[in-house]
Structure 1
């Protein structure tokens, strides 16, 4: 399907947002957008753990499931603006929290990662139980990887699941980890590492015999964190096995329902392999749009409180 190199976004971006770091930090730290008045449901999982899902039923005709990024949650600004936009278009909205991200520590040792699709499937099942007739998925950053993996690894998914959009998605997770080692990008990495380290300290108290938790004090980057904690906790050999296995690139050829990947070329979180042009040219269901600008999960618009991401997602779903 089309590789959209000349994005409409590049023609509408305010000039002061042509700096990727400015756009990224503005969207994450300074832009305000209140969450909808959700109901919250705790979903009990088959392995004894749980998820929390915030939702608002607007119509049973169409629903969108929103997937947050690394160390995000269902009430991050990019989720809130997307939720509000789709509610105004008469969609129901289900914004879910990965394990440990909903304000309550989960019960089991595992946390979450880019390749988690079984928990996303539980959220899909919740929407079906609520009577939703058409279901669309939108993921941001890590959540985008989860969406792509969900479509790439599910060949016989429910016919009510129609399409997905993945925004600012690390198609190759290792390339993203490498990008976050460079220059100013290390500021983003440091913030992620600090937040994840706090959660690992809680896990060390929950499960003191599980592993050598003394290594926590040596965490300073993703390499060490993923090699010594993320990989073993989630059943991977090491960080390289983890990065390789959870990357959407492993399953991209199997996507058989419409999926739009929206990755800005200036995104500081993305690197080589995160712009799958060849796959977009070969796979009838994969749409790739690569604006020159946009930053990471940002895409600010001129004279609008919404971002291009939700506007483009709605346009994509409407076109199908």
Structure 2
């Protein structure tokens, strides 16, 4: 499915920001659930409908981006598109992203697959007889690639899709510190630092920081150096980026898999574009325009969220034919960018 930007709105920043200003309310009210994890913490998830009433529907998991959540325009838009296809959609919130402070100081990162493994196994246990697929957006897309490469045939997923994944984490951490992209970094860090402060009020130590320390982190790289790397046992942010970038392991994915990248993504450079020959099961789509998780087509008077058509179109052959339904509107959401 080809992407054509709105006439006059091909600028990458306009493409990136426009969905946040067009969709100021979520498209439906989800059903929330809290799952206790094996380490004594919890995952907050939300469904397109009550799962006990949809046992026979295909399931699509959405892994959001850095500091994202169900209320991110791309997240509830994709969920609504899954719902309209007759599928059961579900967002797994990474720890600290649902609006509730987790019990443990542990957070998440681009290569942390344990929570995804826990949740997909939960789905396999409770929905054993239906096909299941997953979609990852930005950070969630890189994580999904790491998950599928690690578990391969034991992934319990029939297909997957990654949207704007930062496949070279180090390069992306550098790119977001340049030009207008620093605005996105500042927005993301505002959310991340707020959550970090809350964690330090509950826990004596988070990463390399201790309660009472001044929170003055000013870049994604610094956050990963001072929080992510020490929290998850990496020697440094650079070591974390090297070990968890999805570009190297992408060819190891065995399921039918689609990657959607835009050449003009303001979070990334050409370093994220695969140069190796990819296996036939991987459909790599590189568009000229689209920004970061933007991909707005149609017209200003009738905008089209292209991802909400392209992603279900790719997944549909792997999830089976089901009827279409309608969606409704409600619920506030954040109009600003979450990656």
**Residue matched to 2:62:** 66
Question: 1:90-140, CA deviations, whole angstroms, 9 ceiling, x for partnerless residues?
Answer: 111111110001111111121111112111122212322332610111111
- 1:154 aligned onto 2:148: no
| 3-state SS of paired residue (1:123) | helix
8 A contact 1:36–1:83 mirrored in 2: no
User: How far off is 1:35 after superposition?
Assistant: 4.0
**Residue matched to 1:138:** 135
**Residue matched to 1:229:** 227
**Residue matched to 1:3:** none
| 3-state SS of paired residue (2:132) | strand
| 3-state SS of paired residue (2:110) | coil
Question: 1:144-176, CA deviations, whole angstroms, 9 ceiling, x for partnerless residues?
Answer: 1121111111123255x1110100110111111
**Separation (CA, whole Å) in 2 of partners of 1:30 and 1:244:** 37
- Of 60-69 and 244-253, more deviation after overlay is shown by 244-253
* 1:1-320 superposed matches below 5 A: 8-10=2-4, 13-55=5-47, 56=49, 57=51, 58=54, 60-131=56-127, 133-159=130-156, 161-209=157-205, 211-213=208-210, 216-278=214-276, 281-302=277-298, 306-320=304-318
User: How far off is 1:301 after superposition?
Assistant: 2.3
User: How far off is 1:31 after superposition?
Assistant: 2.5
Task: Evaluate the alpha carbon distance shift between residue 195 and residue 261 of structure 1 in structure 2; reply closer, same or farther with a 3 A threshold.
Answer: same
Question: 1:171-227, CA deviations, whole angstroms, 9 ceiling, x for partnerless residues?
Answer: 111111111011000111111112111111122222225544366443111222211
8 A contact 1:178–1:271 mirrored in 2: no
8 A contact 2:67–2:191 mirrored in 1: yes
| 3-state SS of paired residue (2:76) | helix
| 3-state SS of paired residue (2:62) | strand
| 3-state SS of paired residue (2:102) | coil
| TM-score normalised by the chain length of structure 2 | 0.85
**Separation (CA, whole Å) in 2 of partners of 1:309 and 1:157:** 28
8 A contact 1:266–1:292 mirrored in 2: yes
- Of 181-190 and 27-36, more deviation after overlay is shown by 27-36
User: How far off is 1:282 after superposition?
Assistant: 3.2
| TM-score normalised by the chain length of structure 1 | 0.90
User: How far off is 1:82 after superposition?
Assistant: 0.7
| 3-state SS of paired residue (2:271) | coil
User: How far off is 1:269 after superposition?
Assistant: 0.7
- Of 309-318 and 173-182, more deviation after overlay is shown by 309-318
User: How far off is 1:141 after superposition?
Assistant: 0.6
Question: 1:7-61, CA deviations, whole angstroms, 9 ceiling, x for partnerless residues?
Answer: 6103xx2113201101111123442352433221111111111101101245623
Unpaired runs of 5+ in structure 1?
1-6
| 3-state SS of paired residue (2:32) | strand
8 A contact 1:85–1:306 mirrored in 2: no
8 A contact 1:59–1:90 mirrored in 2: no
Q: How many residues align?
A: 309
Task: Evaluate the alpha carbon distance shift between residue 29 and residue 149 of structure 1 in structure 2; reply closer, same or farther with a 3 A threshold.
Answer: farther
**Separation (CA, whole Å) in 1 of partners of 2:83 and 2:27:** 11
| 3-state SS of paired residue (2:67) | coil
User: How far off is 1:295 after superposition?
Assistant: 0.9
Q: With CA pairs under 8 Å and 6+ residues apart, which has the higher RCO, 1 or 2?
A: 2
**Separation (CA, whole Å) in 1 of partners of 2:224 and 2:15:** 28
